[in-house]
């Protein structure tokens, strides 16, 4: 029975990996296509602005998928977000609007007797002359304070977390009043919760042990799904995509890793350090491989989620960039048709990646707590 489940899921994962490869190939091609422009960017910076700037899709796309200290709403309107810096002289806070949208290190903000400049979204201590100094590859040499700013992605994280609390706490309360069949929002959410329980947790972790891990799996599932979906809504206060930041996916993967490691029973560790049925000399090779496997699994979780969502965004933005690259509106029907297709695909991917992350987390936890092989 257990074996059946595993083969089934591995088959499904194989199918998904084919779809993923397709998306990745698209993203790779897009990157190849825009990379000549990427190298041009630095060239432009060095030569200075000479009249009308050429459209740079890389910059647009990279700007879109990168984190930012401002929340761009439309046109020149942005929501300034708080900048929180842990400097050599303690905590410094101010609104990001004080940089006046500057990303080139020109505008100096003076607080607590310290000068700060912002260069490509990173805040540095300004040099004695109020300027940044650069190395040969045009990377700033200045030190920077620890930055705990409420950036666009942190704002989106707060928004997702608040929405989850607003959805699920009332749903939980509705069960106190209504003992019968679920109604309203609970009726919509319950099948999703049961899906996580019956199709992800129980088959992988087992009926006896799954309950302990349900809160984590549910939180991860809905947070990733919401985070993915927010990125597809093209207006304020959404547009920010949590899951296209590798730091966010990395933190979730680390949580899965920690839970797996601390839940591991003697069979799990026995499998790693004394793989059953393997001759003693081979263990010299097997132990490093198994230990490496402990880390590659969460690493794959982190990269898979990050790459899938980022790739989807890059493809959609690239399709829209075509209009500006060819400088004609005639391309727009093609762009819109393909982008619409991509949006629908991304809706699917948003749910699919939440499912895959949760499923694999459950699978790893299940391997760690499994009693018999």
Partner 1 sequence: MNITHPESLLFWTVLVFIILLFLLRKFAWKPILSAVKTRENSINDALAAAEEARKEMQNLKADNERIIKEARAERDTLLKEAREMKEKIIADAKEEAQQQGSKIIAQAKAAIEGEKKAALAELKSQVAGLSVEIAEKVVKQEFSDKDKQLELVENMIGEVGTLN
CB nearer partner 1, residue 65 or residue 325: 65
In the complex, what is the shortest distance from the CB of residue 63 to partner 1, in angstroms, rounded to a whole number? 10
CB nearer partner 1, residue 168 or residue 236: 168
Q: Name every residue whose Cβ is closer than 8 Å to that of residue 118 and which is 6 or more positions away in sequence.
A: 69, 99, 102, 103, 105, 107, 124
CA Rg value for the chain: 24
In the complex, what is the shortest distance from the CB of residue 279 to partner 1, in angstroms, rounded to a whole number? 43
In the complex, what is the shortest distance from the CB of residue 183 to partner 1, in angstroms, rounded to a whole number? 13
- CA angle, residues 255, 261, 267, in degrees to nearest 5: 150
CA distance linking residue 354 with residue 228, whole number of Å? 8
The alpha carbon of residue 111 and the mean position of all alpha carbons in its chain are separated, in whole angstroms, by 32
99 contacts 124 by C-beta, under 8 angstroms:
no
CB nearer partner 1, residue 12 or residue 211: 211
CB nearer partner 1, residue 62 or residue 345: 62
CB nearer partner 1, residue 55 or residue 158: 158
CA distance linking residue 57 with residue 37, whole number of Å? 8
In the complex, what is the shortest distance from the CB of residue 321 to partner 1, in angstroms, rounded to a whole number? 16
CA distance linking residue 98 with residue 109, whole number of Å? 7
Least Cα distance to 152 among 247, 31, 251 occurs for: 247
The DSSP H or E segment spanning 183 is: none
Least Cα distance to 86 among 147, 139, 161 occurs for: 147
Structure tokens at 118: 């912002």
CB nearer partner 1, residue 99 or residue 248: 248
What crossing angle do the helices spanning 246-263 and 332-369 adopt, rounded to 10°? 20
CB nearer partner 1, residue 66 or residue 275: 66
CB nearer partner 1, residue 58 or residue 271: 58
In the complex, what is the shortest distance from the CB of residue 344 to partner 1, in angstroms, rounded to a whole number? 24
The DSSP H or E segment spanning 311 is: helix 280-325
CA distance linking residue 235 with residue 232, whole number of Å? 9
150 contacts 93 by C-beta, under 8 angstroms:
no
In the complex, what is the shortest distance from the CB of residue 253 to partner 1, in angstroms, rounded to a whole number? 11
In the complex, what is the shortest distance from the CB of residue 152 to partner 1, in angstroms, rounded to a whole number? 10
In the complex, what is the shortest distance from the CB of residue 315 to partner 1, in angstroms, rounded to a whole number? 14
Q: Which residues bind partner 1 (CB under 8 A)?
A: 62, 65-67, 84, 120-123, 144, 146-151, 153-154, 157-158, 161, 164-165, 168-169, 171-173, 175-176, 179-180, 186, 189-190, 193-194, 197, 211, 214-216, 218-219, 223, 245-248, 250-252, 255, 310
CA distance linking residue 152 with residue 239, whole number of Å? 9
CB nearer partner 1, residue 171 or residue 315: 171
CA distance linking residue 17 with residue 30, whole number of Å? 19
The end-to-end CA distance of the chain, in Å, is: 12
In the complex, what is the shortest distance from the CB of residue 162 to partner 1, in angstroms, rounded to a whole number? 9
């Amino acid at each position: 029975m257990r074996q059946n489940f595993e083969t089934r899921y591995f088959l499904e994962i194989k199918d998904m990996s084919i779809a993923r490869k397709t998306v990745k190939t698209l993203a790779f091609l897009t990157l190849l296509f825009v990379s000549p422009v990427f190298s041009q960017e630095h060239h432009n910076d060095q030569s200075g602005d000479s009249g009308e700037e050429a459209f740079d899709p890389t910059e647009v796309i990279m700007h879109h998928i990168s984190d930012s200290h401002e929340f761009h709403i439309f046109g020149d309107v942005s929501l300034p977000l708080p900048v929180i810096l842990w400097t050599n002289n303690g905590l410094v806070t101010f609104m990001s609007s004080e940089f006046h949208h500057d990303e080139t290190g020109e505008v100096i903000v003076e607080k607590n007797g310290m000068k700060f400049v912002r260069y490509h979204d990173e805040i540095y201590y300004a040099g004695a002359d109020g300027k940044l100094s650069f190395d040969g590859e045009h990377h700033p040499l200045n030190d920077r304070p620890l930055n705990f700013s409420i950036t666009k992605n942190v704002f989106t994280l707060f928004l997702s977390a608040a929405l989850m609390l607003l959805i699920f706490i009332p749903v939980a309360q509705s069960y106190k009043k209504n003992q019968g069949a679920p109604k309203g929002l609970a009726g919509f959410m319950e099948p999703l919760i049961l899906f996580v329980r019956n199709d992800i947790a129980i088959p992988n972790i087992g009926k006896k042990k799954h309950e302990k891990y349900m809160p984590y799996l549910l939180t991860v599932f809905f947070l990733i799904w919401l985070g993915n979906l927010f990125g597809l809504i093209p207006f304020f206060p959404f547009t920010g995509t949590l899951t296209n930041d590798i730091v966010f996916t990395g933190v979730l993967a680390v949580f899965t890793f920690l839970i797996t490691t601390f839940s591991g029973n003697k069979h799990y560790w026995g499998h790693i350090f004394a793989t059953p049925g393997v001759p003693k000399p081979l263990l010299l090779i097997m132990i490093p491989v198994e230990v490496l496997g402990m880390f590659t699994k969460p690493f794959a979780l982190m990269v898979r989620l990050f790459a899938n969502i980022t790739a989807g965004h890059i493809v959609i933005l690239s399709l829209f960039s075509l209009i500006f690259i060819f400088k004609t509106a005639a391309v727009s029907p093609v762009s819109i048709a393909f982008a619409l297709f991509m949006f629908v695909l991304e809706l699917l991917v948003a749910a699919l990646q939440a499912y895959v992350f949760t499923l694999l987390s459950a699978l790893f936890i299940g391997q760690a707590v499994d009693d018999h092989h």
